[in-house]
Amino acid sequence: MDEESRETATAEVLVNNARGLHLRFAGLIARQAFQYKSRIAIWKGRKSVDARSMVEMGTLSASNGSHLKISAVGEDASEAVGALVHLFQTYREED
């Protein structure tokens, strides 16, 4: 395994929408995560879940104002984390 394929990246995000990390939002996150080769996890405290699984994300019970960490390991880890951070920063639910 070369150095590039072991790239790691992490970032902290804030859940900033009234309904928290609900299934529609989790679906968008999972769809984005599937675009990358890296293994991506979302953490709330000590609990981590696969960013490609809507169901697992639902178990985080991440309400509005929750602080989460996104971590990725793989050849495109920085790009993957950056894209998910952008999604958390720009997502606004429709009424």
Helix, strand, coil shares of the chain, percent, nearest 5, are: 35, 25, 40
Report pLDDT for 73. Answer: 98
Annotated active-site residue 22? The verdict is yes
pLDDT recorded at residue 95: 47
Q: What is the pLDDT along the chain (95 residues), one digit of tens a residue?
A: 455 568 999 999 999 988 999 999 999 999 999 999 999 999 999 999 999 999 999 999 999 999 999 999 999 999 999 999 999 999 887 64
Distance CA 8, CA 38 (A): 9
Looking at residue 92, its pLDDT comes to: 80
Q: How far apart (Å, rounded) are the C-alpha atoms in residues 95 and 81? A: 28
Domains defined along the chain, listed by start: 4-90 (3.30.1340.10)
Q: Residue 94's pLDDT is what?
A: 61
**Are 42 and 48 contacting, i.e. CB atoms less than 8 angstroms apart?**
yes
Catalytic residue among 7, 10, 16, 22: 22
Tokens representing 18 are 């009234």
